[in-house]
Amino acid sequence: MGDEVRIGYSFWGFLGPGITDTPDGGRSHRRTLVDGLCTAGHAIVFLQLNRDLCEAGDDLTGPYGWDVGLPDIDALFLEWRWPIPGRNTTPCGRPGHTCDLHRQADLLAHYTHQLGTPTILWDKDRQLPATDPLRSTHNVTVCEPALRPTPGAVPLLFPVADAAIDAADPAALAALARSTPLVYVGNQYDRDDAFDTYLAPAATQLPHLVAGKWTDTTRWPDLYFVGRIAFPRVAEIYAEALATVLLLPARYAAAGQMTQRIFEAVLAGCAPLLPADVRCGAAFVPPSLIVHNATDVRHRVGWLTEIAGTGEHVQLIAECLRHLDPFRLSTQVDVLDRLLRHPESVAS
């Protein structure tokens, strides 16, 4: 294998803004990672359906290539898919069926098992069981976007472009008019307990906004839910807000796994309040933004209201930007570059 590694990349989502009615958080970082790998000298072909074109009408076939066959590749990279009853577990052609899981199974069978192709499995949602045989397959490396991943897995965090961090201006961000004290952007999935503990009681006492797919909101009749929003609106909401709370499913919190919400918020100057039960929390936010309950959230928002636009606010945003260093694209590309250029090291 030469210096260039031809990567077959399997993902179920979008490179561009996509469509509103989708839970694809990968839009915040997938294209960043792809472009970073290409800059590092690799070639990429996408192996799932071109949803950007088929669903969003966004033609990206100039700079990028898709192939739903079985092209020649040097390495297989999977954004891990798992069974979702009624969606990807139904027979092909049924209403509402998505073929991501079937396609992933075909890719694993052909490349990983039949050809022995080096395979990197990025378990972004912590859905791969600790006992899954893939974890002990000799040509498979499991990566997780966590600081304390499952034993044997390699940390691969969601990437943010180095240039985006370096170009962020704390003073300009602190000077923005912020009309909403508290926001939450994200879907309901496995977050009800964290929502009740950290956000809901505080939101009842503050102007707020909750955006995302929340299918059952009856227990919070006093909160303002706006439903799913177009992807470009995410940055706008954060730019109008003083603070957000980084709500995580318990399985993420226990592994020190942070979602893309942290850099979406920080790059817009929105202070990310982090629950104290998140492992490795000091690596993600300054100590002043770690909260233990909704009372802490309300007090921190009050403090942020007092310092908004001041030098103290500028300094806080600068600290938050420094805490994005673990997510830098350069760091994540270095991890993948090592695994891709030295396939003999790809082992769990």
1-27 pLDDT tens trace: 347 899 999 999 999 999 988 888 899
Task: Inform me whether the pLDDT recorded for 273 exceeds 50.
Answer: yes
Contact (CB, 8 A) for 79 and 11? yes
* Average pLDDT of the residues in 97-103: 93
- pLDDT one-digit tens code per residue, 313-329: 999 999 999 999 999 99
The span from the CA of 328 to the CA of 217, in Å, is 36
Rounded (10°) angle between helices 329-341 and 30-39: 60
The band of 210, judged by pLDDT with boundaries at 50, 70 and 90, is: very high
Task: Inform me whether the pLDDT recorded for 103 exceeds 70.
Answer: yes
Select from 273, 252, 245, 247 the least CA-distant residue to 194.
247
State the average pLDDT for the chain.
Answer: 95
Angle at alpha carbon of residue 161, lines to 9 and 328, rounded to 5° = 90
> Residue 60's pLDDT is what?
96
Its pTM stands at 0.94
> Residue 2's pLDDT is what?
47
Q: How many residues make up the chain in this entry? A: 348
> Residue 200's pLDDT is what?
97
Kindly give, in sequence order, each residue whose CB lies less than 8 Å from that of residue 231, ignoring residues fewer than 6 positions away: 17, 18, 20, 27
**C-beta neighbour count of 185 within 10 angstroms:** 21
Task: Inform me whether the pLDDT recorded for 295 exceeds 80.
Answer: yes
- pLDDT one-digit tens code per residue, 127-183: 999 999 999 999 999 999 999 999 999 999 999 999 999 999 999 999 999 999 999
The span from the CA of 27 to the CA of 36, in Å, is 15
Q: Which of 98-102, 187-191, 294-298, 341-345 has the highest mean pLDDT?
A: 294-298
The band of 344, judged by pLDDT with boundaries at 50, 70 and 90, is: low
Q: Which residue type is seen at 137?
A: T
DSSP string, 247-289: ---HHHHHHTB--THHHHHHTTT-EEEEETTSTTGGGTS-GGG
- pLDDT one-digit tens code per residue, 40-77: 999 999 999 999 999 999 999 999 999 999 999 999 99
86/163: higher pLDDT: 163
| Percentage above 90 pLDDT, the chain | 91
Q: Which residue type is seen at 112?
A: T
Kindly give, in sequence order, each residue whose CB lies less than 8 Å from that of residue 201, ignoring residues fewer than 6 positions away: 294, 295, 298
The band of 346, judged by pLDDT with boundaries at 50, 70 and 90, is: very low
340/264: higher pLDDT: 264
Go through the domains of the chain in sequence order and give each one's CATH number.
6-157+328-345 (3.40.50), 162-327 (3.40.50.2000)
